Structure 1
Amino acid sequence: MSYDPIDHDFERGLVNRRQILGDAWVDRSLANATGFNADFQNLITRFAWNDIWGRPGLDQKNRRIIVLATTITLGRWEEFELHARAALLGDAGNRLTPDELKEVLMQAAIYAGVPAANTAFSHAQKILSEIGTQIGYAPIPAAPAASSHPGIGRQARSAGKPSLHYTVRTPRNGKAPRHTIVLSHALGCDLSMWDSLANQLAGDCRVIAYDQRGHGSSDAPAALYGIADLADDAARLLRELDSGPVVWIGLSMGGMVGQELALRHPALVGALVLANTTSCYPETVRTVWQQRIATVREHGMEAIADAVMARYFHATFRTSQAATVARFRQRLVSTDVDGYIGCCHAVGMVETTERLQQIKVPTLVIAGELDQGTPLAMAQTLADNIPQAQLTVLKNASHLSAVEQPQAFADAVTHFLLAL
């Protein structure tokens, strides 16, 4: 029987230790070992760095985050500094950016306590001041009062009347935005319907979401609106924000507004995504919209809520995602009655079919396979009449396709944006 002189557990652990902490630190630790602590160095190299860090169940970046959170919680600041510095200077595959480190510290403030996070921020800022030039990081002065939640964006209201509530997310990569994107919601919804997509797109884009008049926190004038009114609202907002040409992503009513905006204010639109929408309803359907207005006037929003949910979501989704449906139902019934009636009139009277040829920008038309509100034939009309249009049909999606099939919707949008 032969004897292998190499302790493979130790050597494997040493490889992981070097990958995470760097050669310089590991070389110093090994060089400083004495008869008093050599056994301990051997123990942590085999058990921590091989038995734990060598497990493939989590990648090294996630294990870094766990160690940082644990050392913050325990107040082991020497270990925190060691692992924070190593994380910021690590290999491309496992390093943390300063923003990612900040998110670890923000989460620790909730689960480990504000005092612990406060100390962690102090240590992290010291490290960043020392190594900032090495990692291309330069802190930018910022006022705490102007801080905004990155998953929601900066919130404000537009000038003029009606005043529109809106949010702006800036690119998380810190670079100039690849596009400015506007997200325009469906009837009876609000800007929160776009949260998932907005946060995906905000990785490298500036993303504006807003509440249409009569919805959410925007003004709700007591009048019957037209789609042209809603398009002019959007134009005023975009000019106020100095947006330049935008990629307009609108679903249902939002898609109708996008068409009209491209026709009335073409300089503001660089591309269109028109989802689950139409350019016109037949007269029989217009009558249905007028009946809905009459019902809401007489009996309020609750009287139409269940029927609207049946249109927005297919039966399987309503059963399997009852909490999501309940959230959208609550949003619908809490919508201002005057605002809803005004927008109902605008939607029911939409008419852009004869002008679609005038839309001169790249356009993605998205249809839901199961959409009863704006069936595939309506999407086909848009795709056939807009010169640079392409059509994508989402499987197992009804009217609110971005909610029922969020990843498929996001994939279609992302693929479209890559070609712009």
Structure 2
Amino acid sequence: MHMADLGDIRLHYRIDGPEDGAPVVFAHALGTDLRVWDRVVALLPPGLRILRHDMRGHGLSDAPAGPYSMGTLVRDSERLMDRLGFRDAVYVGLSIGGMIAQGLAAKRLDLVRALVLSNTACKIGTREIWAERIAAVEAGGVEVLAEGTMQRWFSPRFRATPELAAWRHMLERTDRGGYVGCCHAIAGTDFMTPTSGLRLAALGIAGSEDGSTPPDLVRETVELIPGAQFRLIRGAGHLPCVEAPEAYATLLTEFITAQGHLG
């Protein structure tokens, strides 16, 4: 395990692949951690140097008092990439991680060569929806959201498997303050204008059974970027990297190869 001390925050991160590999960065969803990418990373071709980290308030990273802003989450990823020498990377963001990806690309094109926006949008939900969720967690803990979240995250087929329990536990064990802090960040974010100004290669990925960021929402965001591609993984929900890792890894490999990123 590796911890990066950035002064005001310590972030847990993991690097896989050769030191001279082509850089790829993954950012996870709210209520998960870097393990959400395990199956996909194992299926990607050799020659990639892959960085994953637990965002603040999640996993083994620090969980400082919130609320957090999206700018703070973007800066965390930016500083970590600078610290570890990840430049000109393909950046893969899932849900809130996809919002971080949009913000970072708008701020630091030297760090981001191409974007994968997975199960995300330039704006997710409304302030009212997030205020209700924040109030529920502050009153009863993250576990009060577990049942509804599992319904939105996963297809009926996956919810019938024993594996569902592991993802429910991951959500329920997320730091309460960290979860609420990131909810505030999402509630205050609308990236329509900066994302529509992006000019770089981009791929959007959606799951047909996603109850959090439905396919049309993902498509509308991706279409803000000229020339961007959109792919739908049928039968998967909000975390297609968990439900359909082979299909997800195939899409990533094709996109990364098309960018000439594998040499």
Distance 1:194 1:294 in 2: 30
Q: Is the 8 A contact 1:281 1:349 kept in 2?
A: no
Separation in structure 1 between the aligned mates of residue 193 and residue 20 of structure 2, nearest angstrom: 38
The AA in structure 2 aligned to 1:201 is L
Contact 1:371 1:398 in 2 (8 A): yes
1:200 Cα shift? 2.7
Decide whether the 8 Å contact of 1:201 with 1:207 is kept in 2: no
Say if 1:202 and 1:415 are closer, same or farther in 2 by CA, change over 3 A.
closer
2:241 counterpart residue number: 402
Whether the aligned pair in 1 keeps the contact of 2:204 and 2:229 (CA below 8 Å) is: yes
What residue in structure 2 maps to residue 176 of structure 1?
20
* Corresponding letter in the other structure for 1:213: R
Identify which of 141, 155, 164 aligns with 1:314. Answer: 155
TM-score w.r.t. structure 2 length? 0.94
Greater CA radius of gyration, 1 or 2? 1
Task: Tell me which of 120, 127, 134 is aligned to 1:293.
Answer: 134
Equivalent residue number for residue 120 of structure 1: none
**Which structure shows the higher helix fraction?**
1
Q: What amino acid maps onto 2:15 in structure 1? A: V
166 and 389 in structure 1: CA distance in 2 versus 1, 3 angstrom threshold: same
CA contact (8 A) 2:39 2:241 kept: no
Matched, 1:225 2:225: no
Deviation at 1:195, TM superposition (A): 1.0
Query: Higher strand share goes to which structure?
Result: 2
Root-mean-square deviation (CA), in Å?
1.5
Aligned 1:164-243 pairs, distance under 5 A: 164-171=11-18, 176-177=20-21, 179-201=22-44, 203-243=46-86
- Correspondent of 1:270 among 88, 98, 113: 113
Residue 309 of structure 1 deviates from its aligned partner by 1.0
Aligned to 1:366: 205
Contact (CA 8 Å) 2:204, 2:218: kept in 1 or not? Answer: yes
Query: In the aligned structure 2, how far is the partner of 1:264 from the partner of 1:342?
Result: 22
1:251 aligns with 2:94: yes
In the alignment, which residue of structure 1 is the partner of 2:3?
156
Contact 2:3–2:10 (Cα < 8 Å) also in 1? no
What is the deviation of 1:182?
Answer: 0.6
- Look up the equivalent residue of 1:339 and give its one-letter code: G
Q: Distance in 1 between matches of 2:65 and 2:222?
A: 35
> Structure 1 residue 202: deviation in Å?
6.2
Unaligned runs of 5+ in 2: none
Name the residue aligned to 2:174.
335
| Structure with the larger RCO, 1 or 2 (CA within 8 Å, 6+ apart) | 2
Question: Aligned in 2, Cα 1:194/1:281: closer, same or farther, shift over 3 Å?
Answer: closer
Post-superposition Cα deviations, 1:84-121, rounded to whole Å, max 9, x if no partner, equal xxxxxxxxxxxxxxxxxxxxxxxxxxxxxxxxxxxxxx
Please, what TM-score do these two structures have when normalized by structure 1?
0.60
After superposition, the C-alpha distances for 1:136-177 in whole angstroms (9 at most, x for unaligned) are xxxxxxxxxxxxxxxxxx633343221110001123xxx831
Contact 1:170/1:202 (CA < 8 Å) preserved in 2? no
Give the gaps of 5 or more residues in structure 1.
1-153
SS at match of 2:10: coil
Q: What is the deviation of 1:316? A: 1.7
